[in-house]
Chain A
């Protein structure tokens, strides 16, 4: 059974940008897709640059895939799967996320 923990309002995230939320000691990068209420959640740690920065990357699309580019060295991570497009060995964790009544909540195991 997933426990949903509210972390912020949807309006706290500017369209097409990211923020970082703290979830039980873990850093989670949240991205809002355009002006919509679609929000993606991946781990905030950049495995290449070894720093907690992914929430500060630019988001966009590669083909049909929604991605974030690391702000440090620009590797791409698939926002829905956490897969690293340049090196699948360096893929990262994704988190269940939902938006209800304008509130963004993360699923804790």
Chain B
């Protein structure tokens, strides 16, 4: 039997979801999947589009790659628009004239941004916000603009405003309705959202109807409003809603709705039985669903129907029955959620409202006439309750106890009111993006999953918008507990404490040695886990010389000889080059030393120079020369501050706004030597072009015209993460103060070998909590944190300088205790003019050669 041909028109999020699901189905081999993408690239995550402005690349946003499609055998064509459908011949025709036959045709053409018919709307800097190409255009326009306006104060409009703000523009939102997010929020919620957004520096103008866009006086354009007022701006972004992309259906005889949208039935079939429509282009029960989760549901339904009609001829199990449009998101850093009937239109419904002007929290519950069922909710500023409320609504459960308790703040000491996950039925949908139920997660746990990572891999739960992460974790934990799995966070067999607990013990008790701690709080002799961990904690708080008699046996492979051990047991040497700035004289010294000891020389990613292949006994001689020339240790061997990378900044660069090099050097000199749970990297960029890649660092600093923007908790490496914007427009003093606090809080509370990124993600409350602790001093510990850092800064010493000045410490720097010979196992070959360790094969050949020569 020949394969059935499925053509998917459109490769957006929903089209891709359809393809990916079908290609991974058991019956995948019975289909040829063919897709045409109008854009220049395969599907990407439009939901996260604004991340493009906080540094995400097109690759970061991609949902798949061409290689993946090729591997899955999917036939795809980019930049190719389908222009005609012949439903009798069952063929489609593309813009380039290609004709392809289909058994089933799936239209996933999505939507396009609606631009109101305002005179002057087609000018160069009047743009829309939907595709990566749009973003590139916005980026280019922003670079030559100071002010930007978003037309539309809905969900997408506020996302777009975030993008403009991140691009550094003075940002305005112009909305026709009397409030922001009029669809999802009631008046109280909209009012608070506006207040919060305005406090972030975005100006909001409601009840403004734009009548024309003309040339401006101060700025490039002037927008004139119906009420006679005007606003000047250099660029305009239209985000006034979407319209279904139904052109193809319209031209070729499929039924479309009065206000657009391809009419579909419960199986996502259009008026032609072999043509389906899914996602934002489809009109079901006269409704367009502009969220991704309903689109994914439609994809699933369509696949089942296609499989049953072409292969199994069984009745399809799934049908589309509408979708819940509840939503939880962060707009410009403000938490907002809306559930069900947020406006209280349900007959007889009643409301509970909690409004806290001081903490800026608004919550409203809408309950049924009898007060037993939840029909809707609005949450702004605090969306903790979203998971619980959504489950109550989706599962039509009775509200437990007094409904008011669901939104009232928790007083100290009492347990938050909510329904435990145990109350949820097995069928409760936990992840709406991928339709994962409580039962699915429980099954995954029973099948061996015991971390969020496992659950994500096994069920895809929480890999879409991520809004359900907390709930997924609760379900997982409850299931683990039910299975009797005890979650053990002990550091190792010698200490029944976490690293954070040990750090507290050391701090409170004032311990200075490992033996005190082992004797009073541990057992056994210690190991390669607890010794370096405690060595690091002691160093973080006491900052003593790490090779001191009582401390030396705690130091790991690298620290114990103040060098980075390489695969053959030799060491690499990395002197500090603060901020990457080095004089020619010092550069020559490095060259001379490297030449004298024949060290393999390489530039590091942190703007320093790494010299490889030094033997133990050579380290003190080499460091003597370096210290004499004014170098200090670079701590490349430590779990400690590594480098503060910088761009050249305003001193030389035509675009630099502030002196990034001076700041980088100051920061590197301040934090050098700080021992931490893991290595720490910084960078400072002199303008938003971000040449120092600060957003990929634990601490990133970017200059703006108003001061420094501070980013925290990013990293490269195995699991790269962009840093989060932590505070903006800081002066030098505040910048340093915040960094002091963040780092010291990290040192106190992180787990062993936990980078700042994972640490922050695991903090309950995440970035907001960290801001609360560091900026608002929520815990009242900022003075202590700063004092801790001051102590570290004041007691800095160059460990290598101390070592070469302490003869008894130098004894250990020798391969043999009883001989001056060198390790006879070291073998090198030369490559590109430098020395490198011989490979296994080369070793055999070299040894044979030597034997033959004997």
Contact = CB atoms under 8 A, between A and B. Distances in A.
A83 to B, nearest CB: 16
27 contacts: A14-B553, A19-B817, A20-B815, A20-B816, A21-B816, A22-B816, A22-B819, A22-B821, A27-B823, A30-B817, A33-B525, A45-B825, A49-B569, A51-B568, A51-B569, A52-B825, A56-B557, A58-B531, A59-B525, A59-B553, A60-B526, A60-B528, A61-B525, A61-B526, A62-B527, A66-B525, A71-B556
A80 interface: no
Contacts of B526: 60-61
Contacts of A60: 494, 524-528, 530-531
A21 B556 contact: no
A84 B532 CA distance: 22
Interface stretch (B272-280, B559-567, B596-604, B770-778): B559-567
B66 interface: no
Nearest to A67: B527
Interface in B522-541: 524-528, 530-532
Interface in B541-559: 549, 552-553, 556-557
Given A19-B812, A71-B565, A12 B817 contact: yes
Given A8-B817, A21-B817, A61 B557 contact: no
A57 B557 CA distance: 6
Interface of A: 7-8, 12-17, 19-22, 27, 30, 33-34, 45, 49-53, 56-63, 66-67, 69, 71-72, 74
B818 A58 contact: no
A52 B556 contact: no
Contacts of A67: 527
B811 interface: yes
B504 to A, nearest CB: 23
B493 A62 contact: yes
B818 A21 contact: yes
B564 to A, nearest CB: 11
A70 to B, nearest CB: 9
B553 A17 contact: yes
Interface string B794-818: 0000000000000000011001111
B527 A69 contact: yes
A14 B524 contact: no
Given A52-B823, A58-B527, A74-B528, A20 B565 contact: no
A6 to B, nearest CB: 8
Contacts of A51: 567-569, 825
A12 B569 contact: no
B531 A22 contact: no
Given A14-B549, A34-B525, A52-B823, A72 B816 contact: no
A69 B528 CA distance: 6
Interface of B: 493-494, 524-528, 530-532, 549, 552-553, 556-557, 560-561, 565, 567-569, 811-812, 815-819, 821, 823, 825, 840
A57 B818 CA distance: 19
A58 B817 contact: no
Contacts of A71: 556-557, 565
Contacts of A21: 816-819
B567 A72 contact: yes
Contacts of B811: 12
A52 B531 CA distance: 23
A72 B837 CA distance: 16
A59 B554 CA distance: 9
Contacts of A15: 549, 553
Contacts of A12: 811, 817
Given A22-B816, A51-B567, 19 more contacts: A8-B817, A16-B553, A19-B812, A21-B818, A27-B823, A49-B567, A52-B815, A56-B565, A58-B527, A58-B528, A58-B532, A60-B494, A60-B528, A61-B524, A61-B525, A62-B493, A62-B527, A72-B565, A74-B528
B527 A14 contact: no
Contacts of B568: 51
Contacts of B561: 56
A57 B531 CA distance: 12
A62 B396 CA distance: 54
**Sorted from nearest, which 10 A-B pairs have the closest CB atoms?**
A60-B527, A16-B553, A69-B528, A71-B557, A61-B525, A51-B569, A19-B817, A58-B528, A53-B569, A22-B819
B557 A72 contact: yes
B612 to A, nearest CB: 14
Contacts of B549: 14-15
Nearest to B527: A60
Most buried by B among A15, A33, A57, A58: A58
Nearest to B547: A14
Contacts of A13: 817
A62 B553 CA distance: 17
A8 to B, nearest CB: 5
Nearest to B535: A58
Contacts of B567: 49, 51, 72
A57 B528 CA distance: 8
Contacts of B494: 60-61
Contacts of B528: 57-58, 60, 69, 74
Most buried by A among B527, B552, B815, B818: B818
A21 B526 CA distance: 25
A17 B552 contact: yes
Nearest to A13: B817
B818 A14 contact: no
Contacts of A19: 812, 817
Contacts of B530: 60
Contacts of B823: 27, 52
Nearest to B815: A20
A15 B561 CA distance: 16
A49 B215 CA distance: 71
Given A34-B525, A51-B569, A60-B525, A14 B817 contact: no
